[in-house]
Amino acid sequence: MTESEPISLEAENVTVTYPSGQTALRDASLRLEGGTICALVGVNGSGKSTLFKALMGFLAPARGTVRVAGRPVREAQKKGWMAYVPQAEEVDWSFPVSVADVVMMGRYGQMNFLRIPRAGDRAAVEESLRRVGMWELRERQIGELSGGQKKRVFVARALAQGGRIILLDEPFTGVDVGTEEAIVALLRELREEGRLVLVSTHNLGSVPEFCDQVVLINRTVLAFGPTDEVFTPENLTRAFGGALRAFEIEHSTVDAHDGRALTVLTDDEHPLVLGRSGHLEYRRRAGREDLVSEREKKAREEQPPAA
């Protein structure tokens, strides 16, 4: 069956030009496989949302192709493989629809001409709503939910649709920390099921915590691949130019007497922290002890301690 074949997403030399004549994206190429959570990272105006739309098939590239498991995007859309979780600001929350209505919209592609729900559609809606913990609130009008609940409704819609490539546009904007963790846990489950989860974000710091792959964008695809390979100081400078602010501990008042006991606070976004050699530092040591000892070993080999 087609459902068991592994999913992949491939862009080849995609160039997008808007009717105004402006080229938002030039020669963008990438290849991603199922079973991954991948971040699309770039500043505003980097062509990130243009690439996003081209990958979803919302706009046709002037040149180049996008293929899903070797097929045209249009075919993947018809099969219901392409699921989309919109940004909170894009949704009209006062629209007269209930939570269950929204999730049912994920099923429209599979329904008959009149879009009359059958038992299978209702079962899919119930299953996905239960999975995100929103079944009890199914009768609520969507505007009567909290930020995190709203996000979960649209994730449930992607699940009910049976999406194999799920794109989330800025999923953590306006969502509290607890909900962010719950969503990340859910995304990890989707990855284990072999789906391809794409997250568009401008929040660098959250990426190493839950994305195993990254696509860096600035007018084209600068780099793509495993997060720790792509997130190098050189790549980040190319992607962000002067848009990043750095706090370099080496040049700061932080000194040996502080030991490693430093607390970093930010008002909104997670900070992205790089070690001395430019490698990624993670928020929690638990679960990454091997990485720490490996780096320690490597550092000792490279720089024998002074006598």
Partner 1 sequence: MDALLIPFRYDYMVTAMWVSAVIGAVCGLLSGFVTLKGWSLLGDALSHAVVPGVALAHWLGLPFAAGAFATGLLAAGAMAFIKLKTPVREDAVIGVVFTSFFAVGLLMISLRPAGVDLKAIVLGNILGIAPADIVQVLVVAVAAALLVGLKWRDLMLFCFDPNQARAIGLPVGRLHVLLLALLSATAVAAMQAVGAVLVAAMLVTPGATAYLLTDRFGRMLGLSSALGAGCAFAGAYASYFLDGATGGCIVTLQALVFLIALVFAPKHGLLATARTRRIAEPTDLPGASLGTDTPTSSLPGGASQARPSN
The region of 5-13, 51-59, 63-71, 210-218 touching partner 1 under the rule CB under 8 A is 51-59
**Cα 145 to Cα 40: distance, rounded to the nearest angstrom:** 28
The nearest distance, CB 176 to partner 1, in angstroms, is 17
DSSP 292: H
Task: Decide: is 17 part of the binding site for partner 1 (CB under 8 A).
Answer: no
Q: How many residues bind partner 1 (CB under 8 A)?
A: 31
Q: Read off the DSSP letter of residue 138.
A: T
Residues 69-88 within binding reach of partner 1 (CB under 8 A): 74, 77-78, 80, 82-84, 86
Among residues 88, 97, 272, 273, the one that binds partner 1 under rule CB under 8 A: 97
C-alpha 213/C-alpha 36 separation (Å) is: 7
Specify the residue, 128 or 206, whose C-beta has the smaller distance to partner 1.
128
Taking CB under 8 A as the criterion, the residue among 8, 98, 203, 220 binding partner 1 is: 98
Choose between 91 and 182: whose C-beta lies nearer to partner 1: 91
Q: Which helix (H) or strand (E) holds 24?
A: strand 23-33
∠ CA 300-301-307, nearest 5°, is: 60
Instruction: Give the position of tokens 């602010």.
Output: 245
Beta strands in 123-232 (DSSP E): 165-169, 196-201, 213-217, 221-226
**Cβ proximity to partner 1, 20 vs 303, nearer residue:** 20
For partner 1, the binding residues in 109-148 under the rule CB under 8 A are: 109, 113-115, 141
Stretch that binds partner 1, among 60-68, 99-107, 244-252, 272-280 (CB under 8 A): 99-107
User: Which residues face 68 on adjacent strands?
Assistant: 9, 71
Which CB sits closer to partner 1, 23 or 293? 23
> In the complex, what is the shortest distance from the CB of residue 96 to partner 1, in angstroms, rounded to a whole number?
5
Q: Which residues contact 41 (CB under 8 A, 6 or more apart)?
A: 48, 201, 202, 204, 207, 214, 215, 216, 217, 239
Q: Considering the complex, what minimum distance in angstroms separates the CB of residue 85 from partner 1?
A: 9
User: How far apart are the C-alpha atoms of 86 and 244, rounded to whole Å?
Assistant: 26
Binding site for partner 1 (CB under 8 A): 19-20, 56-58, 74, 77-78, 80, 82-84, 86, 90-92, 95-98, 101, 105-106, 108-109, 113-115, 141, 157, 161
